[in-house]
Structure 1
Amino acid sequence: MNALLNFFTSIYTDRQLLFQFAKNDFKARYAGSMFGVFWGFINPVITVLTYWFVFGLAFDSRSTDGRPYIVTLLSGIVAWFYFSDVLGSATNVYNEYSYLVKKVVFNIRILPTVKLISNLYIHVFFICISIIITSLNGFYPTWQILQLFYYWFCLAVFLTGLTWITSSIQPFLPDINQFIAVTLQALMWGTPVLWTIDRFAAHPTILFILKLNPLYYIVQGYRSALLSDGWFWQHGTLTAYFWLFTLSLLLLGSKLFARLKPHFADIL
């Protein structure tokens, strides 16, 4: 527990360094390409348009309440893009910043947080696009949209614990990158990103299993915030489960990092 408290203290103490690292990380990701950071914004847009064309137009998909598919898609996929981008990049963060791992004075525990912040640029852009498109379809923002701050915080804490685990293992087990790629493919279809949960309203057992996925809480939360479908405190049991799972993940990630950190310099 002390390690967690020290981590959050160091985040606040080194906040200027952290934001500078995140800014440089975002720029470096697209350095050398002709269009630079433009690719970071255009890739998710093309992906959304592809899904919308296939499921929204070709298959004429709609939720049972009749919402246009583009509204359902955007309100769910905005959280998924951020999750998958951060998980993929933060897992490799110690290899990417190996020159810092060998510096005793640098707190490398905050490096996964650099990826959390650097991916925020595209995430905020995508949220703005989602608000514009949902508004054009008649779903105007209400006070409930402020819940996006809460659900982003949920996602950030969840990703912190998860990436402490994956990034700590990656130097010793490089195959974890392939495992994550395969898992993300399966997880995307098992999370209400491209579809809505109301399709399983008549199947309580399936609903229960789907809700065991912590991403269910976050994706549904983003959708509720963007489409004004209710407040998070109306889902007390689900909220309690999510935070119990996330805090357990955070403690596990913290212990695993502390155990493996002394060996990073030898591997990297």
Structure 2
Amino acid sequence: MNSLRTFSDTWRHRYLLGQLIKRDVLLRYRGAMFGVLWIFLSPLLMLMIFAFVFGQVFQARWPQQHGPLPFWVLLYVGLITFNVFAETVSRAPASVRGNPSYVKKIIFPLHILPLVPLGASLVHGAFNFLILVAALAWAGGLHWQVLLLPLLLLPIFLLASGLSWFIAAWGVFIKDMTQIVPMLVQMLLFLSPVFYPVSAVPAALRPVYLFNPMGTVIEAARACVAGQPIDVGRWGLALAFGLVASIVGYAFFQHSREEFADAL
């Protein structure tokens, strides 16, 4: 449960982790006609579809929206935030189970395997961020505060890493986790304020949303992009929750790793 050990162990194997992330990203696009260009093309095409459907067809506006930003930009901000979490956690159950040869190598640092999907999601998130900046410039809403967005996502990084360690350990023993977790993540997508603001939630349910760290970070990210004040207090609570989740998830993973070889 030593918090410093959680991060020092990861930092000590940063080069190996970087190489595994690089291999993971390149293998995903190997053999494709456009190769790694899909990292840029996929979010760009998605944003263009959002702009057409929600901007031209539905002409949707954000509830109680103030400012020049169109609906599809605010929606895209929520999806960027959620996708970093979703991609990481959805792939976590197979991160250790899918690499049995590493489990049998006693000197291999198994705890970095659940972080590989997180690193890959950050690579995709970086390209999403560049496209978002271009979209803000095109929509006339670009300002310096958008540079704070990567920092505001820190609670999501910590929460995703903690859940990945926890789920990866369970995934070794329970094969059904590869089916259960993506389904739960899909449900969380609609239970988090990705397609709507917290202000649109019925008053009776709003306190539940306020305790959701995912919702807190999404709301903070939207406020950042829109140039509005950020609720630093709630964001700080989300950061503390993510830190605790990361430490507990790492401790559970290290406690369970001795049984991995027998289970596989």
TM-score by length of 1: 0.87
| 1:117-142 Cα distance to aligned partner (Å, 9 max, x none) | 22222211110111111221121122
CA RMSD of aligned residues (A): 2.2
In structure 2, the CA distance between the partners of 1:37 and 1:98, relative to structure 1 (3 Å rule), is: farther
Read off the aligned partner of 1:191 and give its amino acid letter: S
Alpha-carbon offset, residue 94 of structure 1:
0.7
How far the C-alpha of 1:261 sits from its partner, in A, is 0.7
The aligned residue for residue 112 of structure 2 is 110
**Aligned match of 1:235:** 232
1:4-24 CA-to-partner distances (Å, cap 9, x unmatched) read 422311222222222122111
The one-character-per-residue Cα deviations of 1:209-228 (angstroms, maximum 9, x if unpaired) are 11222111221222222222
Deviation at 1:54, TM superposition (A): 4.2
SS in structure 1 of the partner of residue 143 of structure 2: coil
Does structure 1 retain, via aligned residues, the 8 Å contact 2:44–2:131?
A: no
Counterpart code for 1:23: K
* TM-score under structure 2 length normalisation: 0.88
Distance 2:117 2:216 in 1: 22
**Pair 50,185 (structure 1): closer, same or farther in 2 beyond 3 Å:** farther
5+ residue gaps, structure 2: none
Q: Is the 8 A contact 1:170 1:177 kept in 2?
A: yes
Separation (CA, whole Å) in 2 of partners of 1:49 and 1:177: 31
Which letter maps to 2:164? T
What is the CA distance between 1:239 and its match in structure 2?
A: 2.8
Quote the residue 2:263 is aligned against.
Answer: 267
- 2:132 corresponds to 1:130: yes
Determine the structure 1 residue equivalent to 2:220.
Answer: 221
Q: Structure 1 residues 241 and 140, CA, compared in 2 at 3 Å: closer, same or farther?
A: same
Matched, 1:250 2:249: no
Query: Amino acid of the residue matched to residue 252 of structure 1?
Result: V
Partner Cα distance (2:97, 2:30) in 1? 18
**Aligned residues between the structures:** 261
Does structure 2 retain, via aligned residues, the 8 Å contact 1:158–1:250? yes
Q: Mean alpha-carbon deviation: is it higher for 51-60 or for 73-82?
A: 51-60
Match for residue 27 of structure 1?
26
Are the structure 2 counterparts of residues 243 and 116 from structure 1 closer, same or farther at C-alpha, using a change threshold of 3 Å?
same
CA contact (8 A) 1:72 1:223 kept: yes
Flag the 1:148–1:25 CA change in 2: closer, same or farther, 3 A.
same
Runs (4+) of structure 1 exceeding 6 A deviation are none
- Counterpart-to-counterpart distance in 1, 2:240 and 2:90: 24
